Amino acid sequence: MDYRNDFPLLKIGIIYFDNAATSLKPQVVIDAVVDFYTNHTANIHRGIHTLSEEATELYEDSKEKVASLINSKPEDLVYVKNATEGLNFSAYMINLKRGDKVVTSVMEHHSNLLPWYLMKSKGVEVDFVGIDEDGRLKMEELTEKARGAKVLAFSHASNVLGTINPVEKITKIAHENGALSVVDAAQSVPHLKVDIKKIDADFLAFSGHKMLAPSGSGALVVKEDLVKDCTPPLAGGGTIHDVTLTGVEWAKVPERFEGGTPNIEGSIGLGVAAEYLEKIGMDKVRVHELELLSHFFKQIKDLPLSTYGPEIKDRTGLVAFNLGKIHAHDVADFLNGRRIAVRSGKHCAHPLHQCLKIPASSRASFHIYNTTEEIDHLFSALSEALEVFS
Ligand code: ALA
What is the torsional sign of CA 146, 151, 157, 158?
A: negative
Pairing status of strand 15-16 against strand 340-341: parallel
Q: What does the pLDDT average to over 3-21?
A: 97
Q: Is the shortest distance between the CB of 347 and ligand 1 below 6 Å?
A: yes
Cβ within 8 Å of residue 270, ≥6 positions away? 62, 66, 79, 208, 211, 213, 214, 217, 218, 219
Residue 234, burial from CB neighbour count under 10 angstroms (0-12, 13-18, 19+): middle
Strands (E), 244-356: 248-250, 305-307, 318-323, 340-341, 343-345
Catalytic residue among 348, 355, 358, 360: 348
**Structure confidence at residue 295 (pLDDT):** 98
Could you give phi then psi for residue 132, rounded to 5 degrees? -85, -175
Q: What does the pLDDT average to over 70-75?
A: 97
pLDDT tens-digit map of 225-244? 999 888 899 999 889 999 99
Find the helix or strand (DSSP H, E) in which 196 lies.
helix 196-199
Query: How remote is the CA of residue 343 from the centroid of ligand 1, in Å?
Result: 9
pLDDT tens-digit map of 118-128? 999 999 999 99
Between CA 285 and CA 4 the distance in angstroms is: 13
**Structure confidence at residue 390 (pLDDT):** 87
Q: What does the pLDDT average to over 38-50?
A: 92
Between CA 311 and CA 324 the distance in angstroms is: 21
**Structure confidence at residue 47 (pLDDT):** 82
Residue 309 has pLDDT above 70, yes or no: yes
Q: Which long-range contacts (CB under 8 A, 24 or more apart) does 171-175 make?
A: 171/199, 171/200, 171/201, 171/202, 172/200, 173/142, 173/143, 173/146, 174/146, 174/149, 174/202, 175/200
Active site residue 348: yes
Banded model confidence at residue 2, pLDDT cuts 50, 70, 90: confident
The residue whose C-alpha atom lies closest to atom 6 belonging to ligand 1 is: 21
Banded model confidence at residue 302, pLDDT cuts 50, 70, 90: confident
pLDDT tens-digit map of 161-181? 999 999 999 999 999 999 999
Q: Is the pTM of this model over 0.85?
A: yes
The residue whose C-alpha atom lies closest to atom 1 belonging to ligand 1 is: 21
Ramachandran assignment for 188, one of left (phi > 0), alpha (psi -120 to 50 degrees), beta (any other) = alpha
**Structure confidence at residue 1 (pLDDT):** 59
The preferred substitution site among 109, 110, 352 for testing ligand 1, maximizing ligand atoms within 8 Å of CB, is 109
Cβ within 8 Å of residue 118, ≥6 positions away? 91
Query: How remote is the CA of residue 127 from the centroid of ligand 1, in Å?
Result: 23
The residue whose C-alpha atom lies closest to atom 5 belonging to ligand 1 is: 21
Q: Is the shortest distance between the CB of 159 and ligand 1 below 6 Å?
A: yes
Q: Is the shortest distance between the CB of 109 and ligand 1 below 6 Å?
A: yes
The preferred substitution site among 159, 191, 211, 346 for testing ligand 1, maximizing ligand atoms within 8 Å of CB, is 159
Cis link prior to 190 (omega < 30° from 0)?
no
Query: How remote is the CA of residue 299 from the centroid of ligand 1, in Å?
Result: 25
